[in-house]
A = this chain, B = another copy of it.
């Protein structure tokens, strides 16, 4: 019975959750679908096109439900939805960073971000820049969280914590890093911690945006000024 493009895509995402991004090969996907490797190339031009489709699927629907509140609150909510989207699948953030061509869901999401940021009164050029700053943070954050999850998966939590304190901190040449306690490292692996940490960074960016986003040099950004906003 014939395979559809959607079935290949769904199979790829299921396999991603099962084996992780590094083990997601065309051959393994073919096997999971009960088909030869070459068969996939009838539905997708190459692996890149499949990756693009998978990445776009990650953030499907996150721009559909309505946003409320001030533009800062709306932008924060978009950020949370993006992060949640990338978290939906194993290695989701790394997958997204390997995508080249934005799909319909990605485009819709970017459009929403731009609209909300534009509503803040920022000049059009800066709207793009602002969206980028938020995007970098989200991708970096989720990549980090998921990388830790993979490390725990491969090496085990206790071994990971042990290695951290053996290799990195045996020297007293690193006083600041030496302040990190074992239970703090263990704590950092928890989901609740990740949420608090995400909100912390999100807050920094949103606050930095509201307070005179048009400052030229950050060297002179110490003074909190509310002028230069339209």
Show the binding face of A for B, using Cβ within 8 Å: 69-70, 72-73, 76, 97, 101-102, 107, 110-111, 114-115, 118, 124-130, 132-133, 135-137, 139-141, 143-144, 167-168, 173-177, 179-180, 184, 197, 199-213, 215-219, 221-222, 224, 226
Sample of 20 further A-B pairs with CB below 8 A, known A107-B174, A133-B137, A203-B208: A69-B219, A72-B218, A97-B143, A102-B168, A110-B177, A114-B177, A118-B176, A124-B179, A129-B197, A132-B140, A135-B140, A136-B139, A136-B141, A199-B217, A199-B218, A203-B215, A204-B205, A204-B208, A207-B224, A224-B226
Q: A210 near B222 (CB under 8 angstroms)?
A: yes
Docked complex Cα distance between A143 and B226 (Å): 32
Docked complex Cα distance between A107 and B206 (Å): 29
Majority secondary structure of chain A interface residues (helix, strand, loop or mixed) = helix
This chain's copy number in the assembly = 2
List the B side residues contacting A179 at CB < 8 Å: 124
Query: Closest CB of chain B to A199's CB: distance in Å?
Result: 6
Q: A129 near B218 (CB under 8 angstroms)?
A: no
Nearest first, the 7 A-B pairs at minimum CB distance are A136-B140, A208-B208, A204-B208, A114-B176, A203-B218, A207-B208, A133-B201
Could you list 19 A-B pairs, sorted by A, with CB under 8 Å? A73-B219, A101-B167, A102-B168, A107-B168, A107-B174, A110-B177, A111-B177, A129-B201, A133-B137, A133-B201, A136-B136, A136-B137, A136-B144, A137-B137, A203-B208, A203-B215, A208-B208, A208-B209, A210-B222
Q: B218 near A206 (CB under 8 angstroms)?
A: yes
Q: B129 near A200 (CB under 8 angstroms)?
A: yes
List the B side residues contacting A202 at CB < 8 Å: 218
Docked complex Cα distance between A102 and B177 (Å): 13
Q: A201-B136, A207-B207 are in contact. Are A72 and B111 (CB under 8 A)?
A: no
